[in-house]
Structure 1
Amino acid sequence: MSISGTRNFTQRAKAFSLYIIGDPQHFTLENRIFNAICAIALFIIAINVPYNYLTGLKVTSLIFTVLVVVFIGIYYLSRYRKKVDLSISLAVIMINVMFALNYFFSSGIEGASLLSFTLAFFLTMLISPSRQYYWWISLNLVTVLGLIAWEYYYPDSVLNVYKTRRDIFADITPTYIINVVVIFVGTAYLKNAYNKEKKTGEEKTRSLEMMNAEKSKLFSLISHDLRNPLASIQSYLQLMREIEIDQENKIQIETELLYVVNSTQEMLYNILVWSKTQLDGLHVNLTPVDVAAAIHPILKINKMAVAKKKISLDTNIDASIKVMADVNMLQLIVRNLVGNAAKFTPAGGSIFIKTSRNADKCLIEVKDSGVGIDPKRQTDVFSLKVRSTFGTDAEKGIGLGLFLCKEYTMAQQGRIWFENNKNGGSSFYLELALAQ
């Protein structure tokens, strides 16, 4: 068989298996295990119908025929009606009743009935919830010990169906083989399912622990970083109250404070956006967005930051470009990219913003002549590796902005990346689909 043929066979087998036991997205683990056990039991019982008939156990063959019909109904209840608890109860009770009846027509303790009871109990423990364990072990013990006691005191009530030693071997041997195979398959399936669930749980736990550690570190930094601007405002107000300040110094202090407040406001905005995303989830509303109209307000907001540091801000924005985007997300991304460029560009530097078409995509470039990105930090630029960073004018940041940029870009089915420029500084690129 070729590789493609083997792959197709594997895919079909997997699809058939999902059809039999149920898709994990729609069925619980317990439901899927019971469906699998039901399918296996149906197969085994169906094989026993002709086998017992041919070996002379005609009553046993009839009993197994009844069990086939019963298990088809039980499988339907579990697989298609999802009534797992009812299906389990019916299955366990019917198996014990029918096996007990078969005990009297298959040579009792000398036949294969006790092996069948052992297998039935194993399957019962696999499929039943733990709260029912004591009920089913009690039922099994009472039934089996009762049958043995009855046969001990009333041996004539049990029909001896084995005419020769060959008949005994013909019945006991396949029953033992079936028991071992079913126990092996059932145990392997259960362990595999358990290991998968355990691995998934461990991955979720690790992810949650990492997120909680990052959040704790983030909020620790936030509480520390908010003290500085508040302390500056408090000092200024106290100074204004206590001494007379000339107009020139007053204007300079007010400009500095306004810049600090604007930077802090930007940080708080990112924090609030991120917190809302954590609480409510990420909701995206993709519509045709005029890129120029979305970017221009951001440039106006950042004029103070670049003016204070005497940074030139040049643009080459195509007014005809429209993209499929969420306008609020797009503005947040551009605001953070331009803000970062201003933060890490020294006084007298430059920032250049350009939009262009690239096939069916729009490319937004934010290029600066700043310090660039340290190679040691490049792998963590878009992650929530929270570290305090300082700009070229001692501006404080917590590293949340670029993380949001990455999250919001992916939510809009776009792409974002960066490059260090040969002549210094860095360029960030945002790629989004053009609106049709």
Structure 2
Amino acid sequence: MIKKRISGIWNYLRGEAPQFSLQSRIYHSICIVTILVIFYTIPFSLLNDLHWLALLSSILLCLQIFLYYLSRYKNKLNISIIIYSVVFNIFFAISYYFSSGIQGSVLFSFITAYFLIIATAQKKHYWIWTLGNLALVVSLVSYEYFHPDFITDSYGDRATRFIDITSTYIVTIILIFACLTYIINNYNDEKRLADESLLKLKQLNNEKNKLLSIVSHDFNSPLSNIQTYLDILERTDLTNEERKALEEELRRVTNDTQHFLNNLLSWTKKQMEGFDFSIAAIDANKCLYGTLEICKNLAINKNLSFQYNIHKDTFIKTNSDIYQLIVRNLVNNAIKFTPSGGKVEVLSVLDKHSLTLKIIDNGNGIPQDKQDQIFTSKIKSTFGTNNEKGTGLGLRMCKEFTEALNGKIWFESEDGKGTTFFLQMPLGYHFE
């Protein structure tokens, strides 16, 4: 709990993605660490009688807090980085004079400052800060070489010198390690997100290609058939039996096309908008009555025996419209792949936590080598026993919608002997 709370505070202080860029988060982290380091510098300077350094560090601390505020809360990142870079180079140049020059620890500080600046600066400014850092350090060292009296020996004894140089080195290593680790971790996170986005983009592109294929082939075919049937009805003298048979075929093709269009629209809406529908407690029997009566008529027209028996006064947690869509697809599939004279049943099984629908047919069944593909985009278009056209989109959509409703869907099938689909939904509230 404590670790999680500290992590939350740290994420807030540095800024969270996507509100802040990776560059901003790194810079804010550096600002926070710099503030902590300056806090360390002030008491260290006082303990070693470096009152001027303690005063200068106090001023620098206030400035650093302001620069952090400027970037984190005022979104002035580039301005803050420039001021940060200039001020710290000036600070270390002054410290070099008062801290024993090349015999002191300030050169380590120049290295640290340069690394932190490059880690956060804009790429187009890299050469400016690199050449500026080199020019400043070389100038200070050269001036000291020719004017050794320019430098003030700030160390009272040998031990103080060793402590200062060693502690500065340790702080430098820690800062570089922390910064590099942070950059690498964030780079890996950004790369992972980019890879996930690329994978999702590829998947969407595949979905688009499949969708275009479905529309161009499977939508054009039934429309062409409808046009052909209408032309025959208009231009050809037919007997009453021939006309009735043709009208029945036209009705069937139109129904299949409408069913396909409804599935296509539902699936496309889900792909574009995601799942955004309400879940409530509904009476399963009342919800499915109209849908199953329509399916019953379709089955009778195909000379199939159709029976359904759903528990009464049993409420499930679901979305009424989506639940009917799923059941309609499953029952239509059962009718489609059951030959004339066959049987389709819709039964419910009730337990303590859920209501499971069983959609049972004694039709063609699903070949063993196709069963792993049933709920995926790999499934191919298929034809029913009366050449009803299928796209494979319906079952995949059923699975996606069922899982979005916190339900489960599965099937059992034997090639040539029929299939049973199971649709399980959690129970809702029971109302008298």
TM-score scaled by length of structure 2: 0.87
Partner AA of 1:377 in structure 2:
K
Aligned mates of 1:220, 1:412 — CA distance in 2? 29
Matched, 1:70 2:77: no
Matched, 1:225 2:218: yes
Candidates 381, 389, 394, aligned match of 1:388:
381
Candidates 369, 373, 379, aligned match of 2:372:
379
Q: Is the 8 A contact 1:106 1:113 kept in 2?
A: yes
The superposition leaves residues 90-143 of structure 1 with CA deviations (integer Å, 9 ceiling, x where unpaired) of: 433332232232222112344322221121111112223435545544654564
Question: What is the percent sequence identity of the aligned residues?
Answer: 36
Q: Which residue of 2 aligns with 1:127?
A: 120
Candidates 180, 192, 195, aligned match of 1:202:
195
Q: Which residue of 1 aligns with 2:419?
A: 425
Q: 1:251-400 counterparts in 2 under 5 A?
A: 251-400=244-393
Q: Is the 8 A contact 1:362 1:434 kept in 2?
A: no
Aligned mates of 2:44, 2:368 — CA distance in 1? 73
Q: 1:101-250 counterparts in 2 under 5 A?
A: 101-133=94-126, 136-137=129-130, 140-141=133-134, 143-145=136-138, 147-148=140-141, 151=144, 155-162=148-155, 167-250=160-243
Partner AA of 2:95 in structure 1:
N
Aligned mates of 2:72, 2:411 — CA distance in 1? 51
Aligned mates of 2:279, 2:360 — CA distance in 1? 26
SS at the partner of 2:98? Answer: coil
Aligned mates of 2:203, 2:272 — CA distance in 1? 17
Aligned length: 429
Aligned mates of 1:68, 1:83 — CA distance in 2? 19
Partner AA of 1:272 in structure 2:
L
Candidates 78, 88, 101, aligned match of 2:81:
88
Matched, 1:435 2:410: no
* 1:401/1:126 CA distance change after superposition, 3 Å: same
Q: Is the 8 A contact 1:259 1:304 kept in 2?
A: no
* 1:380/1:42 CA distance change after superposition, 3 Å: farther
SS at the partner of 1:425? Answer: strand
The superposition leaves residues 197-232 of structure 1 with CA deviations (integer Å, 9 ceiling, x where unpaired) of: 101211220122022113202321331122321222
The superposition leaves residues 281-328 of structure 1 with CA deviations (integer Å, 9 ceiling, x where unpaired) of: 322022333322321221233234312332111011233123332221
SS at the partner of 1:226? Answer: helix
Q: Is the 8 A contact 2:222 2:254 kept in 1?
A: yes
Aligned mates of 1:260, 1:129 — CA distance in 2? 63
Segments of structure 2 that go 5 or more residues without pairing to the other structure are none
Q: Is the 8 A contact 1:60 1:102 kept in 2?
A: yes
* 1:265/1:199 CA distance change after superposition, 3 Å: same
What's the CA shift for 1:332?
0.8
What's the CA shift for 1:401?
1.1
Partner AA of 2:305 in structure 1:
S
Aligned mates of 1:41, 1:376 — CA distance in 2? 63
Segments of structure 1 that go 5 or more residues without pairing to the other structure are 1-7
Q: Is the 8 A contact 1:382 1:406 kept in 2?
A: yes
The superposition leaves residues 121-168 of structure 1 with CA deviations (integer Å, 9 ceiling, x where unpaired) of: 111122234355455446545644554566567654432324555554
* 1:124/1:407 CA distance change after superposition, 3 Å: same
Aligned mates of 2:287, 2:265 — CA distance in 1? 21
TM-score scaled by length of structure 1: 0.86
Aligned-CA RMSD value? 3.0
